[in-house]
Amino acid sequence: MTFPLCIRKIRTIATSVVWSLVFLSAPSSHAAKTGHAPVDYSRQAEWLAVHGERQSPIALDFATASSDADDPRHNAITTATTAVHAVVSDNVAANAVQVDVAPGNFASIRGRRFQLVQFHFHAPAEHTLDGVRFPVEAHFVYKASNGKLAVIGVMLAKGASNPAFAEVMRRLEPGSATAAAGDIDIAPLMPADKSYFHYLGSLTTPPLTQNVEWYVLSHALTISPAQLAALQRRHGRNNRDLQPSNGREVLFHIER
C-alpha cells in the first residue's frame, strides 16, 4: 500500500511529548451536566464501567491496517466547515474543553448521514499512529438518526497557530460570554485530506460504552506551543491509556 508523503513524515511532525475519547455518558450531555464525579485519568484502573473486547483508544499502524478496497467515493468523509450556534465550555467534571453545537451540522460518513453533537480536545492524544503520540487529539462526536455514534479524531502537532482553536480558547477567557451561542469556523481543525483509520471501539471514559465507530484521520494539523500550553494549564493530562486491539480489524481508507 502506498501512503501520502505527509503520512510517511508523521514522525517528523509529531512531538515526543510524554505527558500524555469520548468522555461522555451521552453524546449531548456529560459529567458536568449530570452531576457525575470528575473523571480522574490518574486512576483509570478504578473506573467503574461495562468492559468488553472492543475498547478505545488503540494503537494504529499503517503496516498492519487492511486496505479499504470498497468504492473510495462512497466511503469518503465530508463535513460541514462551520459549527453553528456553538457554545464553548470548560467542562471541569469531564476534564476537557468542549464545544457543543446546535442541530443542523451534518456530515456524510461512508455514505451515511450524521449530525455533529460536540467536539473536544485531549492532551496528549489518545490514539497513536505508528507508535507516535501527538500532543493533542481533537474528537468530533457525531450521531446518526438511529442513535449510532461516530467519532472523527484529528491529530494536532506543534507548529503554526490554529485560528479555530484560538477562537475556542478566546471564548473561555475571563469576561467572555461563553453561554452565548455563536458560529465557529472549524475548517482549520479538519484536514482537507480525510484519509482515515476505521475501527469499532468505545467511549473512553465510563461507562466505556462500545459499538462506537472510530475514524482517526492520518493527516495532522497544527497548534502553536502557546496554544498547547494554554490547553494543558486547564486540564493537564486527559487521555485514556491504550487498550488491547483483541484482533479487531482496522481499515485504512485513502482519500482520492
Active site residues: 85
End-to-end CA distance of the chain: give it in Å, rounded.
14
Look up residue 92 and give its amino acid: V
- Residues 66-92 as b/e (b if ≥16 CB within 10 A, e otherwise) read eebeeeeeebbbebbeebebbbbbbbe
In 20-159, which residue ranges form alpha helices assigned H by DSSP?
A: 31-34
Nearest to 56 by CA among 256, 254, 250: 250
**In 3D, which of 222, 90, 211, 192 has the Cα closest to residue 150?**
211
Question: What is the bridge-based pairing of β-strands 196-202 and 96-100?
Answer: unpaired
As a whole number of angstroms, the distance between CA 138 and CA 145 comes to 23
Place of cell 500532543: 135
Which stretches of the chain are assigned E, i.e. beta strand?
Answer: 59-60, 66-67, 77-79, 82-91, 96-100, 106-109, 112-122, 128-129, 136-143, 149-158, 182-185, 196-202, 210-217, 221-223, 251-253
User: What letter does residue 26 receive in the DSSP assignment?
Assistant: B
Distance CA 37, CA 92 (A): 10
